[in-house]
Amino acid sequence: MNPYNYLYLAALLFTIGAVGVVVRRNAIVVFMCIELMLNAANLTLVTFSRINGTLDGQVVAFFTMVVAACEVVVGLAIIVTIYRSRRSASVDDASLLKR
Amino acid sequence: MTTSTSLGYLIALPLAGSIILLLAGRKADKWGHLLATALSASSFGLGLYQLSQMLRLEPEERAFTQKLFSWISVGTFNVDAGLLLDQLSICFVLLITGVGTLIHIYSISYMSHDRDRRRFFAYLNLFIAAMLLLVLGDSYLNLYVGWEGVGLASYLLIGFWNQKPAYATASKKAFVMNRIGDMGLSFAIMIAFATLGTVTFAGVKEASESASTATLTGIGIMLLIAAAGKSAQFPLQAWLGDAMAGPTPVSALIHAATMVTAGVYLITRSNFIFDAAPTAQLLVVIVGAVTLIFGALIGTAKDDIKKALAASTMSQIGYMTLAAGLGPAGYAIAIMHLLTHGFFKAGMFLGAGSVMHGMKDQVNMRRYGALGKFMPITFVTFGLGYLAIIGVPPFAGFYSKDLIIETAFNAGGVKGILLGSMTLFGAILTAFYMTRVMVLTFTSPERWEEDQHPHESPILMWLPMVVLAIGSVTTGYLFTRGDALVHWLEPVFGEHGEHTELLPHKVVSALAITAVIIGASIALVKYQFSEVDAEAPNKVSILTRLARKDLLQDSFNESVFMRPGQVLTRWLVKGDDNVVDGTVRLVGRTALGAGAELRRTQTGFARSYSALILIGALVLIAGIWVITQ
Interface test with B, best of A95, A96, A97, A99 (most B CBs within 10 A): A95
Which residues, 6+ apart, have CB-to-CB distance to B341 below 8 Å? B256, B257, B261, B313, B316, B317, B320, B389, B397, B400
Residues B421 and B508 in one domain: yes
Q: Which domain holds residue B541?
A: 162-552
The reply to whether residue A91 touches residue B611, judged by beta carbons under 8 angstroms, is no
CA distance A99 to chain B (A): 8
Which residue did the predictor score with more confidence, B445 or B266? B266
Chain B residues inside the 8 Å CB shell of A22: 607, 610-611, 614
In total, how many domains does chain B have? 2
Is residue B231 assigned to a domain? yes
Range name among B310-324, B403-417, B538-552 with the lowest pLDDT average = B538-552
Q: Are residues B337 and B411 in the same domain?
A: yes
**CA distances (Å), origin B219, targets A83, B88, B208, B269:** 92, 21, 11, 13
Residues B460 and B572 placed together within one structural domain of the fold: no
With beta carbons under 8 A apart, name residues in chain B contacting A16: none
B547 and B572 together in one domain: no
Among the candidates B535, B552, B569, a domain finishes at B552
Residues A26-85: tens digit of each pLDDT: 889 999 999 999 999 999 999 999 999 899 999 999 999 999 999 999 999 999 998 898
- Within a domain: residue B373? yes
B52 is a domain residue? no
Are residues B407 and B473 located together in one domain of the fold? yes
Q: Are B443 and B356 in contact (CB under 8 A)?
A: no
Residues B547 and B562 in one domain: no
3-state SS class at B200: strand
Q: Which residue has the higher pLDDT, B238 or B499?
A: B238
Co-location of B282 and B426 in the same domain? yes
Chain A CB contacts of B610 under 8 Å are: 21-22
Predicted confidence (pLDDT) per residue in B33-54, tens digit: 899 999 999 999 999 998 888 8
In a domain, B392, yes or no: yes
The answer to whether the CB atoms of A21 and B604 lie below 8 A apart is no
- pLDDT score at A98: 67
Domain closes at, from B517, B552, B587: B552
Which of B501, B533, B552 finishes a domain? B552
Residues of B in contact with A99 (CB under 8 A): 604
pLDDT for A15: 93
- B interface toward A at CB cutoff 8 Å? 602-607, 610-611, 614
pLDDT at B112 exceeding the cut of 90: no
3-state secondary structure of B152: helix
Residue scoring higher pLDDT (B85 or B3): B85
Which residues of chain B are within 8 Å of residue A18 when distances are taken between CB atoms?
A: 614
Angle, CA of A52, A53 and A54, to the nearest 5°: 95
Question: Residues of A with CB below 8 A from B607's CB?
Answer: 21-23, 25, 30, 91-92
Under 8 Å CB pairs connecting chains A and B tally to 29
In this structure, is residue B69 part of a structural domain?
no
Does B139 score more than 70 pLDDT?
yes
Q: What is the ipTM of this complex?
A: 0.85
Chain B contact set for A25 (CB, 8 A): 607
* pLDDT tens per residue across span B118-128: 999 999 999 99
Chain A residues with CB within 8 Å of chain B CB: 18, 21-23, 25, 30, 91-92, 94-99
Q: Is residue B232 part of a domain?
A: yes
Verify whether the Cβ–Cβ distance A97 to B603 is below 8 Å: no
Can you give the pLDDT at residue B553? 80
* Whole-number Å distance between alpha carbons of B469 and B189: 39
Give pLDDT tens digits for B228-243: 999 888 888 888 888 8
pLDDT tens-digit series, residues B533-554: 777 777 778 787 887 777 778 7
B412-421, B542-551, B591-600: the lowest-pLDDT one: B542-551
Report how far apart, in Å, the C-alpha atoms of B388 and of each of B345, B484, B562 are. 9, 19, 39
Query: What's the pLDDT band for A87 if we cut at 50, 70, 90?
Result: confident
pLDDT band at B496 (very low <50, low <70, confident <90, very high): low
The distance of A8 to chain B (nearest Cα, Å) reads: 17
- pLDDT for B600 equals 82
Q: How confident is the model at residue B367 (pLDDT cuts 50, 70, 90)?
A: confident
Q: Which of A18, A25, A98 sits opposite B602 (nearest CB)?
A: A98
Identify whether residues B540 and B574 lie together within a single domain.
Answer: no
Say whether both B537 and B463 belong to one domain.
Answer: yes
Per DSSP, helices labelled H in B137-200 are: 140-158, 165-191
Specify whether the CB–CB gap between B217 and B277 falls below 8 A.
yes
The percent of residues in chain B predicted with pLDDT above 90, rounded, is: 32
Contact B491, B89 (CB under 8 A): no
**Out of B64-68, B515-519, B536-540, which region has the weakest mean confidence (pLDDT)?**
B536-540
Of all residues in chain B, the one with the smallest CA distance to A14 is B614
Using CB atoms, which residue from B604, B610, B614 is nearest to A95? B604
Residue type, B175: F
- Residue B51: left if φ>0, alpha if ψ -120 to 50, beta else—which one? alpha
A92–B607 C-beta distance less than 8 A: yes
Q: Look at residue B128 and tell me if it is in a domain.
A: no
Residue B382 within a domain: yes
- Same domain for B285 and B414, yes or no, is yes
Q: Is there a single domain that holds both residue B498 and residue B585?
A: no
Q: Does B330 lie in the same domain as B408?
A: yes
This prediction has a pTM of 0.78
Euclidean distance between CA atoms B601 and B65, whole angstroms: 81
Q: How far does CA B456 lie from the centroid of its chain? A: 30
Backbone φ and ψ for B83, nearest 5 degrees, come out as -115, 150
- Give first-to-last CA distance, chain A, whole Å: 54
